Structure 1
Amino acid sequence: DYGIDMQMPGMVIATTRTNPAIGGGLIGFDAEIARKMRGVQAILPITGGIAVVADNTWRAFQAAQAVECDWGPAPYPANSADQFETVANSFTDDHQDSRLKDQGNVADALLHGPLIKAEYRIPYLAHAPLEPMSVVVQLSRQRLDIWTGTQIPRFVQANMARLTELDAENVHVHVLMSGGSFGRRLEDDYIAQAVEIAMQLPDTPIKMIWQREEDFTHDFPRPLAIAHARGTVKSGAVDAFDLSIAAPSVAESSLARLRQPAIGPDVAIVAGAWDQPYSIPHYRVTGYRVPAMVPISSWRSVGASGNSFMHESFFDELCHAAGTDPLAERLRVCWHMPSQKVLEAVAEMSNWGSDPGPGRGRGVAFTLSFGVPVAEVIEVTQTDQGIRIDRAFVAADVGRVLDPKNFEAQVQGGVIFGLGHAMNCELTYENGVPQQDNYHVYEGMRMHQTPEIIVRGLENGAKIRGIGEPAVPPAAPALANAIFAATGKRIRELPLSKSIDFV
């Protein structure tokens, strides 16, 4: 069962409505109209909002919207422009979090130009799983049972024991299938809400389901980030590459909610950039920790999801400035044999180097993440209506492909996930409230836009690795690089649809 489908005898349905401004509280509410609505059994206060208990989901949802709530202000920067300004102001010595890559003499090399520089930006992204947050709970005097899809059952057990003042051994977490997560179910906020309801309705099995709008506006998104990139080329090759990335810390934010310390630098700020197997003469990657803003969390492929766009797009810029082939240059600087092999494979698969034809372009990107090297080539066509994505070629090395069909499916799903978010998706804030609250304003890739995706699994790696996340990061830069190849337009901010149309 999925949590949203589970049934129990005597079960009631609940939903919640909390302050749409993240972190804001509830000053008061008027539920007079909602209490008179058909099927409504109770309207209860919970932390930051209200809960409606009814005899079915639809009636609970309708009643929740009928409650008049007086919301408190948000404690975080209210608007996206303010948030990006905070990021932009964080490229300072006192905000430096890490410098995990520093080879050669970057400072000196940058003096011997011509200097190539660019700024890249990526937005907040929602997790938006198809199954909204849902959980079934039942609390008696000495026992709490929880049925839900979760990635953190032990933390759920400990945190709900603390909330109910039960011994942890009396809190039983039954892990169900999840209808998508992408990192969202690393949080237990929705479970705590259901337990708060159960504490007011003991001995009653309660299924709590969030409305889709509640799911979007109370997500813990992937963080926004800005990168400052500088580089030089010499003798037809990349000579210096200096990448500085400023972003809030996922570890600091998410571990605090789990009551765990975040010790040392946050590697996620520079993941997918500092750890690439490129031997560039002068190569530096620096991370800057942005002061905490809205609560954030891990998102499918974590830091590499956005950093790969910034790293691989600028590497492409340097290749074009040097007058060298972008795939050949990646092969030239790559020192890691399995990574070399995926680049060679994707070159052969895509017939790289051949003329794609008028109005068409190919882009390549490579990312080593989670121990898995992945190379992707995207082919696009420029039409009168916009960019059409024709084909995607992907080579990945997980050491041993144990299940070829699932391997192919995970890679294809990862590419679609990466492309769709790169094309269309962002989470923006106005007056402290997320402006995207459902799929009609947070569109992924539609079926008619999905390209043919050709996948090859290689087995040169020394260890068996997972493939659920590594196909995501190279998709965005491969697409952006393909658009440049077809149009001559270099796009440095996601989503790409802010700068170009897709068909």
Structure 2
Amino acid sequence: MSRIGKIARRTFLIGSAAIVGGVAFGAYYVNKAIPNPLLDDLKDGEAAITPYVKIDQTGITLITPRADKGQGSYSIQAMMIAEELDVDPTKVTLTPGMPGPAYYNGAVMDEGAPFPAYDESWIAERVRGMMFIPAKLMEMQMTGGSSTVKDGFVKMRLAGAVARETLKQAAAQRTGIARASLQTADGHVVLPDGSTIAYTDLAADAAKMDPVTDVKLRPETEWKLLGKKMDRLDMADKVTGQTVYGIDMAVDGMVYATVRANPGIGGDVLSYDDSAARSLRGVQQIVPISHGIGVIADNTWYAFRAAEALEIEWGAPNYPATTEEIFAELEATVDNEDRFDHRQRNDGDVDAALEAGDVIEVDYRIPFVAHAPMEPMNAIVQVTDDACHIWTGTQIPLFVRNHAADITGLERDQVYVYVLPMGGSFGHKLEDTHVQQAVELAMAVKGTPVKLTWSREEDMTHDYPRPAAVAKARGQVKDGKVETFDLSVAQSSLMTSWFGRLMGPLPGPDATITTGSWDQPFEIPNYRVTGYRAPDMVPISSWRSVGASGNGFLHDSFLDELIHAAGADPLAERIRLCMHEPSRKVLEAVKEMSGWDGPSMGENRGRGVAFCMSFGVPCAQVIEVTNTEGGIKIDKVYSAVDVGTVLDPVNLEAQVFGGVIFGLAHAMNCETTYENHAAQQDNYHVFEGMRLFQTPEIEVQALTNGDKIRGVGEPGLPPAAPALANAIFAATGQRIREMPFNKHIKFV
């Protein structure tokens, strides 16, 4: 899409922004305009068309509504706008703006289309093209699914282009020089004689005119920012400690709070004794809340101490009490036709093939894992009779607003959410239980801001983890080739649990049960992947790379087993089976990067390859390991990805690095287990990531053979676990079919 049509003056395009004495620009990206709530109250000299560019006499503000949780979203959104606006992104102000329905993410639901990403048929593309409709109707202002760049690539550049051309038109009217004869550079309109007029000087004029919407986007060959090596715009503030994260935020007059919620998530409070807690220094109030007790105090440390002193009798939640019981339920689910959920891959005749005999059959397990970001959950909330103000880091600001309105009884437009940078998330801040708790506490002290902070232990044990899963895999090989692949996966429904907390469970099958396994670009004669839905148990949530985080391990590990049983080369057979050209080129690239066909690695050394397409991004990895006397040492990781178009090569490499390390760390060491309904891992010493001395050298190559723009925050993760498992097999002969691997082998 390179053009946008004429727009009506009294509609807005993709949101709204109130500008005092200034002008706002943006881009029309959906067919139906969303009513602009600001237009009725506009004053002279004000304009509110879209939210992405705000210019007044004091400066330029770029509004970047996708949340930043360390992945650089503010920076890349600003770069996309600045590329067309012709401004230096280091000289403007960035803000996420106030949340609103018009900031919906039109790309976040693409994964819900019932077609694999490599299917580019007419019907598949047509359905994907319509996925923005439910996102719009459900007001999905959400950051996730590696969709920030994918969603913003056209509309944010158009926002900059419309702003640029409208400012040129304002200059044309002032000077009498045709707009076509004007240029722009560094926040100025440039006249033919070389003189300039600052955008800020033209803002009041531009506010009085209709925006120029018949614009063309600049081709990639003319980009000055995108595609080039660039520094993250937030880097200086972060390394100098100036970034204000949610946990750093303070407002005048606030009090401090924490909570103790039922260790069995969803269970009630049967009784409690707060006498000891009330006697402690600094305690102001003890407040019952949903499923727990809150403490309001003079500072956070006092609140923590008082919460520890509470004596509480807890009721049992509605799920099995132990990990063993949960996995027994999962085992009873897999291949149970009464719990069949979906089968989106069913090529050839798997049943007939398996009945012929010579079946290879193995089982796999995926554990629960917590998100465990460095910054625990926190929020500041102030409730009055006519407003609720919320300061927090969140990926779901409109859901935060809606839930707060439900709790307080206020109208939604009386709830104001100020989105702050986050100290990590990995999906953790797709939840707002902590905000709801803070709202309940703030209602107990109306008018006073309450800063709620979860302790590390509360954060770890009340996380909604990645789903646990079991899988049964059966297959056959013939004439040195993989002939039959049959994978059955059982887990509880992520969409019932997570999305149910947001706005109610979605009807129909839950594709996340098999995402990352059914949708892989391989052509096997008999090929079937089936999802079975276990009962709702421990409440679960979206974790970095979602379904692919576990299914990438299940699918590729079993594929590797079959390839070895066939006596084929692991990489060559994957390339032969691959039917998607960009994916095949990724496999070929990692083969070349790693010197796969080179000399033997020698005794006690091994390398494994794995592939997973997730979020439309094919990613292949080769991992080299050494089997030392003390355990497995991970030496090097080669990773090749194809995102279609590389906008920020430096951050792309960093995101793949992070995905690899996150995937390896959790595969090696991490799981969340349950006893008496409660999570047992309550801090990092028992949920240990990869240590610095264990971190391998990582080499990344980005390809651009795909014809669509993609995100890369998550696709680097899914191949890491199977590539490591396959490397361990190559070095030791030991197959590991359960995470974490440290249950079966040591690492050094």
Q: Does 1:36 align with 2:284?
A: no
Amino acid at match of 2:512: A
Aligned match for 1:148, one of 392, 407, 431: 392
**1:497 alignment partner in structure 2:** 742
Aligned match for 1:73, one of 316, 319, 322: 316
**1:404 alignment partner in structure 2:** 649
Q: Does 1:254 align with 2:511?
A: no
| 1:264, distance to aligned residue in structure 2 (A) | 1.6
28-37 or 408-417: bigger deviation: 28-37
Aligned match for 1:166, one of 388, 392, 410: 410
Q: How does 1:273-312 map to 2 (within 5 A)?
A: 273-312=517-556
Write out per-residue CA displacement over residues 292-333 of structure 1, whole angstroms, 9 at most, x where no aligned residue: 101111110000000110110000000000000011000001
TM-score (normalizing by structure 2): 0.67
Write out per-residue CA displacement over residues 69-115 of structure 1, whole angstroms, 9 at most, x where no aligned residue: 12112321000010000000012111110110001111111123311
Distance 2:564 2:316 in 1: 49
Amino acid at match of 2:268: G
Aligned match for 1:317, one of 554, 561, 565: 561
Greater relative CO (CA pairs within 8 A, separation 6+): 1
**1:128 alignment partner in structure 2:** 372
Which secondary structure does the structure 1 equivalent of 2:503 belong to?
coil
**1:8 alignment partner in structure 2:** 251
Amino acid at match of 1:210: W
Moved over 6 A (4+): none
377-386 or 38-47: bigger deviation: 38-47
| Structure ID, larger Rg | 2
Distance 1:105 1:263 in 2: 30
Q: How does 1:346-361 map to 2 (within 5 A)?
A: 346-354=590-598, 355-361=600-606
**2:611 alignment partner in structure 1:** 366
Distance 1:14 1:432 in 2: 25
Distance 1:400 1:258 in 2: 33
Distance 1:49 1:287 in 2: 35
Which secondary structure does the structure 1 equivalent of 2:247 belong to?
coil
| 1:200, distance to aligned residue in structure 2 (A) | 0.3
**1:488 alignment partner in structure 2:** 733
Report the number of matched residues. 503
**Kept after mapping to 1: 8 A contact 2:496/2:504:** no
Aligned match for 1:55, one of 291, 295, 298: 298
| 1:261, distance to aligned residue in structure 2 (A) | 3.6
Distance 2:688 2:252 in 1: 38
Amino acid at match of 1:480: A
**2:635 alignment partner in structure 1:** 390
Q: How does 1:109-120 map to 2 (within 5 A)?
A: 109-120=353-364
**Kept after mapping to 1: 8 A contact 2:497/2:505:** no
Q: Does 1:157 align with 2:375?
A: no
Amino acid at match of 2:626: T
Aligned match for 1:460, one of 688, 697, 705: 705
Distance 1:243 1:169 in 2: 48
Write out per-residue CA displacement over residues 150-184 of structure 1, whole angstroms, 9 at most, x where no aligned residue: 11111111111011000000001111111111111
Which secondary structure does the structure 2 equivalent of 1:161 belong to?
helix
| 1:414, distance to aligned residue in structure 2 (A) | 0.4
Give the CA RMSD over aligned residues: 0.9
**Kept after mapping to 1: 8 A contact 2:379/2:438:** yes
Which has more strand, going by share of residues?
A: 1
**1:202 alignment partner in structure 2:** 446
Consecutive unaligned residues in structure 2, runs of 5 or more = 1-243
Which secondary structure does the structure 2 equivalent of 1:89 belong to?
helix
**1:242 alignment partner in structure 2:** 486
Consecutive unaligned residues in structure 1, runs of 5 or more = none
Aligned match for 1:87, one of 315, 330, 334: 330
**2:170 alignment partner in structure 1:** none
Amino acid at match of 2:300: T
Distance 2:465 2:683 in 1: 14
TM-score (normalizing by structure 1): 0.99
Q: Does 1:338 align with 2:582?
A: yes
Write out per-residue CA displacement over residues 330-371 of structure 1, whole angstroms, 9 at most, x where no aligned residue: 000101111011101101111113311210000000000100
Distance 1:76 1:104 in 2: 39
